[in-house]
Structures are given as structure tokens and as C-alpha cells.
Structure 1
């Protein structure tokens, strides 16, 4: 056993030495690494692009699933004109087409905030920068934290060339990589370019990632330089986060202080991160196949190993000029879903094509007027709300029909385990049984159902607003009396505070939010459905 482990470690060590000079190597006179990193040297351009989606239904899919998949398979996004004025400012106009529907739109990106003007909405839809950066699940932040998060986007732009150069410098070439001359038409101009063609499948990607990690960690100086860039990128925000969290106990305060000691010393932080990476990369690579085979994706029962196989493929054509800048690209991505996938889909195929011109020339992007107000996509708790988006649209519009009726983005379902009444077991954010009445955490459940919640500390009251119906419910801690749309509502049990969370009977949630509740005796769980 020890001999086997020694051989494995020796093999990984020798591999890392041989890969030190690895990276995207020149092919046919074209520096592939330079091609991959050149996109970050583009500061402005005008361009166009198109993306189409093909969804292949499984033979066992039910009629409704096949109907939806057929609808989405006809979907295309056409960007007629994209204008990048700077790395943080751009605009695009185009349309979304599916079936017989055509939905024009215009999008402006300014310092990572997004303004969307689209048919069906009477005002521009706005997504603020810090919600976009947090994937729409933005927590409540202090003013200093939000300022740092907004500055993060600019720091990220500045750091991207270094990060990209490091990755492309160590990432090996795929097995299928060819270069040949090509003549293409871009904006009515005939250009003689080099066509770089590469193909990659899921199983090869795993091998390349292993090689990249070993190559990267063997390059001590390069890795430390990268970590220094990452430190400058994230340390200011982390420091503010640690200050705002503080310590809820002497032990946690001590942990915070120790972390800040490292964080306040850049050299110490970089050394600490490098040593941690060096100690863990080789074992991680050695166990990666086993980890992927055991790691599940969602609730389908499939693992990452089932996704990263030869049935997943990428074909990419890059048309590059003499300066190694990509002027045109064409992509085909095929994802074959495991048989356990629950949505009736067998495979997903995405194809795209884009062209760029006026590269690094003065470009003035388009603008969208917000003088008559906007629609904020985020709700008051800082979360993206599909319900709020849908209710802001014209019910007769194609976009409303697509989102509400066909894609059903407002449909919500939550399943929570319920311990028996005699049990002392407690599930975080979970319900509990109070002598036959299921009590649920009001904030967690209502936010999962896309509602807005406000807390009035002085009155000890919670107000819940359901965007789709406009229903407003008000309840008071330690009281059975509540109101729904101004009408009295008597709770089975009083709203109570449990470990910092307000709990209410589940029937109140169902009736105040137009939801339905189902009980599973077999699973001992409760499911809340909201259409």
C-alpha cells in the first residue's frame, strides 16, 4: 500500500515537473496562449452575435415536457449591434425569437449595473451592480461593504489580464487543435485571418484540469504572483466583512482576530495561501476522479462524473488577426443529460457566432432614458424576484406569456422535513411540530416563495407582501391575531420567536400567499406549492 502511494506521489511529482513548461503551445505559427489572453486587451469594439438553442427531448418525456422543449428549441437571441465603449460600459440591441414571437430589447451595462428596455415592460428594468455580483441573492450589507463590492468590479477588470495570462500559460492544449488560413467577411470587409479550430469533450477536460493544477502549483513564483493579485482584489472586501461580523463569542472573536492578522499582512497571506494550495493540490488531483464519481448534481441522482464524459463536447472556431485578436468566433456546445434527469430533456445543443470590428477604436455606446422611472428587479430584501419581474409586465405581452405561462418562472415549491412532535431534533430553517400544528420559519419560507418581508421592531410585527396577487399579511409576535388584506385572521398558534427566527402555523402561509400545502406521511415532510 505504501509502495503504491509512493509511486503515485512520484508520478504526480514527475508530471508536475514535465508540465512546468506546459501551457497553450504555439500551433501552425499561432501563439494559442496569446490568442486566449488577447481578448482582455480589447478595450472597445462594435460587433454582432447570435445564439440559438436546440433542446432534444427524451423518448420518455411526457407531452407537456415535449411541448415546452419544442418551444425553447426554437429560441434564438440575435444581437444586431453591440457597442463596447470601455471594459465596464457597453450596450446592445437585438431581439429574442421563439415560435412566431419576436421580442425586441435594448441593454445597457454601466459599471456592472444593467438597464434593460424590452417590449412588454412600460419602464426600463434595472439590476443593480451588487445584486448582479451576488447572483441576485445579495445579503444586507454595511455601507462600507457595499462600497467595496462596487469597487470590486473595477479591480476585477484590472486583474483579469494577469489571471487570464496565468491560466492560459499553464493550461495545456486539447488533443484536437488545428490552425489554417481563412478569408472571412466582417462588416462588409474581407479579412485574411487564421482559423483556430479546437474540440474538447468532458473526459478530456478533467485530464486537462489535472495537468493545469499540477503545472500551476509547480510554478511557485507565478502562483504567488497570482495570489498577490487575488489578494489585492478581494482583501479589502474581506476585511470589511470581518469587521461587520465581529465575534458572537470570545472564541469566534479570537478566530476573527487571527484571520485579520493574516489578512492585514499581504506577504503572510500570500505565503499562507500558497502553502495551503501546495499541500492540497496533489491529493486533490489524485482523488479527483473518485470525488467526481461521488459528487451529486442537484436532486437528479446524477454525479459530476456522469456529466464529464465523452457525451459532452465543445467545438470552437476562433478567427484571429495578425495581432492575435479574435475577430470572429463560432461555437457548438453539446450537453447530453444523464438518464436520471427529471425534465424530459435528453440533450442540449447551443450554437453561437459573433463578429467584431472597430476594435480598440473610439466607440460611443447607446443609452436608455430612465427619466420616467424604472422597474427595480430586486425586492426590498436584496433578492432577485421573478414574481416582481412578471407583475411589472403587460399581461398581454409576448414576454409575460413566455415567462409566466410557458416557462412558469413564478411557480415555487419548497419541501421541508418535519420532526415528530415528541422529537427534540431541530432543522436549521426547518419546521417543527407543535402538538399537531406545523410551525414554519416565516422569513425563510416567504422569501423562497418570492414574497417581501418587513420587520417592525417597535410593534414586533411582520408584514408579508405577495407580489403576484398583491396580498398583504400582518402578524404580531406572541399573538394569534393577524390580518390578511385588512381582514382578521386567527392563527392556530401564536407567532413565536425560535432561535432568532419568527415561526407561524403553515396554514397561515398557505392562505395568505395563495399557496397549497401537501403532507407526505412516508417522508415525514411538508411541501408548499405556489403557482
Structure 2
């Protein structure tokens, strides 16, 4: 599955860039409509996204199982509310393996909260890490402004794909029948290289536009760099002024464009010769089909998209093609929108907490819930693999009377267990991160308790001359739900599913 991943991003990025380069069709200003769609406005919407992986003819049973799982995944947004670029809420469900997992997400400039079915407390992610040195809201606005300018620059210079049409239609959006302009476009992979040359040629000729775009990039990046460096990043010397930077960057970009265009056709042919797989990825079977519906104000009200990426075949490649489909509709564009906040009044599980353990995450969900089974069985967040070198490793195994001992704190940390030490009684209590069962040991005693039941140790725990407490490796590992394996070379692996 890994071999196909590098081929997926390339055609998607290129196709979307080229699609945004459409010139006017049938009197409809496609460029202006597409550029406006990049602007963040308040709105409400719904959307569904699904994926399909087409297996190769000789796919293995293991890969086919993974492919079937991927093909069962879908994302449904029943109701999205966007107030501004940083404030929104989503309600919907994630489908996989024939089950549906409802979710509710809300986000603002400072945090994101996620409530899923079966969770006792919502998941919480802070977005304020950079707030001490950077105004994120202002920075986001500047980056968004640069993105719109960059898209407009590309739109200005791109030719149309071979298949594109515009017509007037009647369509339902949120149960309301509207008169809309329907833009249909298809782009095949084998068109992309041909479309790139006129784009680069037009860009190279537009000195004023290119300098303006570089200046917009400077304006977007300047606050962040200055804040991170703790000083004025560009104004310490006259040579670092905006005018100087723009002129210098323009010279570099222009020289690179001229070099590419000088023998573009030969370079393109050499690229395909060097990487013949590109003939498949950027071939006739890689296709982006999109249908956009605009109202009289050029707002996007509906959109349907399907992207098929052909995958080069070869030994070990289990996939023929990868497909992504999406359909969406939007309403209340530019209107008053109040987002649905996730309720945090009863507490939250902070995912940014570095001390959080897999067991803490699992215990936040009902054992029979979909999300619990997904985390434990599919994502296997509790699985562990510990490799111990024996002998001579930093965490050295000590052999005593035929029993292998390891430092208690080391093995407990590896398996996320909590330790409590009673100095007076020399008793150690180890709390299993997953089950919360307690393992009680006493220094010098061969008797222990595991989840309240008596258990015997082959050798008692002891405090070594290095001041560390050592416990029998197999006992502590198995008590914490793990298995121990020793190979012929003396390497020890401790694993937990």
C-alpha cells in the first residue's frame, strides 16, 4: 500500500490548479466565480465524501482486507455552520465497516472540541500555542488574502481544459428550488503537462503581476517571521527591505521560469522517460470531473466532484486506482450564522496533555461504543513493542537465579503503568493503564497480588546497588497484559496487542 501513496497527491494538486484556470465560457466569468469561491464567508452547508480503492487483479488477502476497510469509509456532514475563517461547527457521522459514528465538532481561534457518540467527555485541542508571539487571527487573514491573490494570478493566465461547458439549470438547494449556472469540467491526466506550458509562459511574461504576488507573499510571511525571530526580521538593513526582497525573488523566479521554458518539451519528455510510471498517473485514466452550480452573485451553491487516480502496476502494488467522490450544497451565504458549540461544562479530555495515556483515552469511551472498538481493535492504541538488549543494554537485564529482572520504572513506563511506593512497608503498587487493575509487590517477598488475587514470583523484587528497583521481567510484563519472547541472540521483545 505504501508504494501507491506518493502518486496520489501529484495529480490531485495539479488538476485542481489547472481547473481554477478556466477562462470565460459562454459569457460566464468562470475565473471570477472560482476566485470568489476561495473567499471565506459565513454560510451553512452539508456534504458527503467517500473513497474507493480499486484492487489489482493479484491482490493478496491481507491487502484486500485493508482495501475493503478503506472502501467502507465515508464522511457525512449533515450540517456545517461557518461564522468566519476561524469559527465553525460540524455535525455529521463517519461511516466505516457498515457502522456509523456520529460526531459534533466546534472550533474557534483558540480551540477545537470534538464530541463523539460513546464519549464521556468531549475531546479538546488547544490552538493557542503560538498566541504569545503571534496574532493568529491577523496572520490567518493575511495568509487567506495571499491565497486569494495567488489563485487570481493563476486564474488570469490559465487556458481552459478541453472539456468544459456552462448552462442555466433549476436545482434544489436545502429544499429550495433555485436558478443556477451549471459549470461542468473534466480534466484528464494527459492534459496536465500540455496545459502547464502556456501557464508558465504567461506567468513569465507578467512582470508586474508576479512582483505583486511576491509582495503579497512577503506581507503574509513578514509578521510570522518577525514574531518568531523576536525582532524585525527584514528591516535591520536597507538591503532587506520589501522592495529589495521582491526584486531579488522576482529575479530568481524569472530566471527559473526562463530556464524551464527554454527546453520545456524536452524536459517533459525526459521526465516521463526517467519515470515511466507518470504515464499512468498522468494518463487518460486519471480524471477529475467536477460540477459547480453558481447563483447570480457567483456564490457556489452546489458542487459534485469525482477524482480517479490511476496507479502504476507492478510487483507488490495491490491497487489499480484510487477514487474520491464528494457532493455538497451551501445556503445562507453571507448571512447571520450562529455555530453550535460543543458543551464543555462537564469537563473535557485534553489531547494536548503530554501525560495522557492510551488507557486514559479508552476509559473516556463506553466499552461497547463504536469509537472504543475503533481505537482498541482497529487503531490498536494500546499495542506496545519493547525491544530489550541483553546483556549490556542501557536498561540492562539482570540475571539472578535463572530469572531475568528489569528496572520497575523502566518497564512500567514502557507499558504506561502508574507506580506508587510505600517507603514504610516497602510495598510497590503498579496500576495497569488499560484495566486499572493493581499489582502489589513487596521488596524481598515472593508473594504478590494481581487484581486482588494472590500470585507467586519466581524470585522477589529487590533494590539493586544502582538504587533502582528490579522486578522479574516475565511476571511484570504478563501482569500488565504483555508477552515476553527471547530470541537465540539474547534479545528480548515484550509485546502487547
TM > 0.5 fold call: yes
What is the CA distance between 1:200 and its match in structure 2? 1.3
1:324 corresponds, among 284, 288, 298, to 298
What is the CA distance between 1:264 and its match in structure 2? 4.8
| Aligned: 1:216 with 2:192 | no
Equivalent residue number for residue 192 of structure 1: 179
TM-score for the superposition, normalised by structure 1: 0.65
Unaligned runs of 5+ in 2: 1-19, 396-408, 420-429, 432-439, 442-460, 467-476
Q: Distance in 1 between matches of 2:69 and 2:410?
A: 41
Q: Contact between 1:196 and 1:317, CA under 8 Å: does it hold in 2?
A: yes
Q: Distance in 1 between matches of 2:155 and 2:358?
A: 37
Equivalent residue number for residue 28 of structure 1: 26
Q: Distance in 2 between matches of 1:188 and 1:258?
A: 53
**Structure 1 segment 258-269 matched on structure 2, within 5 A:** 261=237, 264-269=240-245
1:397 corresponds, among 354, 366, 369, to 369
Distance 1:517 1:273, change over 3 A: farther
Write out per-residue CA displacement over residues 277-336 of structure 1, whole angstroms, 9 at most, x where no aligned residue: 1111233463466457768xxxxxx96665333332110000112222211000111123
The CA RMSD measured in Å over matched residues stands at 4.6
Write out per-residue CA displacement over residues 123-160 of structure 1, whole angstroms, 9 at most, x where no aligned residue: 222233368xxxxxxxxx7942xx25564223223433
What is the CA distance between 1:231 and its match in structure 2? 0.8
Q: Contact between 1:293 and 1:303, CA under 8 Å: does it hold in 2?
A: no
Question: Which structure has the greater CA radius of gyration?
Answer: 2
What is the CA distance between 1:48 and its match in structure 2? 1.2
Equivalent residue number for residue 353 of structure 1: 327
Equivalent residue number for residue 114 of structure 1: 112
Unaligned runs of 5+ in 1: 1-21, 132-140, 245-255, 296-301, 416-432, 441-460, 474-483, 494-509, 522-526
Equivalent residue number for residue 7 of structure 1: none
Equivalent residue number for residue 43 of structure 1: 41
Q: Distance in 2 between matches of 1:242 and 1:342?
A: 47
Distance 1:208 1:243, change over 3 A: farther
Write out per-residue CA displacement over residues 249-292 of structure 1, whole angstroms, 9 at most, x where no aligned residue: xxxxxxx9999748951111111111111111233463466457
SS at match of 2:38: helix
SS at match of 1:55: strand
TM-score for the superposition, normalised by structure 2: 0.69
SS at match of 1:208: helix
**Structure 1 segment 21-170 matched on structure 2, within 5 A:** 23-41=21-39, 43-111=41-109, 113-129=111-127, 143-144=132-133, 147-148=134-135, 151-170=138-157
Distance 1:167 1:410, change over 3 A: farther
1:239 corresponds, among 200, 220, 226, to 226
Distance 1:373 1:329, change over 3 A: same
SS at match of 1:154: helix
SS at match of 2:170: strand
Q: Contact between 2:109 and 2:136, CA under 8 Å: does it hold in 1?
A: no
1:271 corresponds, among 243, 247, 253, to 247
| Aligned: 1:182 with 2:154 | no
Mean CA deviation greater in 386-395 or 175-184: 386-395
SS at match of 1:370: coil
